[in-house]
Structure 1
Amino acid sequence: MTICLLLASPTFADSDLPAARWANQQLPDARQEAQAKALMEELRCLVCQGQSIADSDAELAGDMRALVRQRIAAGERPEQVRSWLIERYGNWVSYRPPVEPVTWPLWLAPILLLLAGGWLLRKRLVRRRG
């Protein structure tokens, strides 16, 4: 019996509460819904980590979708909502990290890798010709 309870413990992770009203329901104003949807695509699910909150089925993602829709329906601009979420959860919640000294490697690494690849390709082509 104890073994069954231990094996079943992950099923207790989800709550039995119904989803928040705006978690899976669109806003009546199409312009506000478009703003909310665009913002939800830019925010990372804190549970799934590889999905946006728009694509995730996690409960927390549903709560975050509801929060985004509520704040936009209340008149906040998407950038204000995004800033509030970053303040609360950190830069990691956003797929668009700000350009600041801490994130310079994130922004510079792709450029450096492209330059290194181009240099290696050029070097190889010169060797083949000679």
Structure 2
Amino acid sequence: MRALLFTLLLALVAPALAAQTALPPAPWADRQLADPAQEADAKALMESIRCLTCQSQSIADSNASMAADLRSEIRERIARGEQPEAIRAWLIERYGDWISYKPSATPVLWPLWAAPILLIVGGLVVALRRVRRRRQS
């Protein structure tokens, strides 16, 4: 009975032990494009895309494997002739607005952009009213 349990346990654990732990690096993750203009476009785009793993770094600065995959994808797409804004749109469509460090100005976000201005104006109105009340009394 113990031999059967041991064999069953070994059959369950063996595939996990034989699995590859790391994928090969992305081909263009750390290699620059031959065309300096294309590389400059790729670098500028990579600096404005947030790393999905680190969340506080751009993919240009991150050493995470996901960031390397995205760097490689961006360089491959730019080498094929895609425009950086089209690549950004694809990334936003795939991962959401959060991935981009460049905020969008879609109508859904207008209240978010207007809130600080409204709070400042409201604070100034309250402060002016209090100053006027003190002067009158």
RMSD: 2.5
Where in structure 2 are the equivalents of 1:78-89 lying within 5 Å?
Answer: 78-89=84-95
SS at match of 1:60: helix
Of residues 100-109 and 23-32 in structure 1, the stretch that sits farther from structure 2 once superposed is 100-109
What is the CA-CA distance between 1:81 and the residue it aligns to? 0.6
Residue in structure 1 matched with residue 105 of structure 2 by the alignment: 99
Unmatched segments (≥5 aa) in structure 2? 1-20
Return structure 1 stretches of 4+ with deviation > 6 angstroms: none
Matched-pair contact (CA < 8 Å) for 1:36–1:68: yes
SS at match of 2:26: coil
How many residue pairs get aligned? The number is 114
Matched-pair contact (CA < 8 Å) for 1:97–1:103: no
Of residues 89-98 and 66-75 in structure 1, the stretch that sits farther from structure 2 once superposed is 89-98
Where in structure 2 are the equivalents of 1:1-130 lying within 5 Å?
Answer: 15-112=21-118, 114-115=120-121, 119=124, 123=128
Q: Structure 1 residues 95 and 105 mapped into 2: Cα distance closer, same or farther (>3 Å)?
A: farther
Q: Structure 1 residues 114 and 88 mapped into 2: Cα distance closer, same or farther (>3 Å)?
A: same
Q: Structure 1 residues 108 and 16 mapped into 2: Cα distance closer, same or farther (>3 Å)?
A: same
TM-score w.r.t. the length of structure 1 is 0.73
What is the CA-CA distance between 1:58 and the residue it aligns to? 1.1
TM-score w.r.t. the length of structure 2 is 0.69
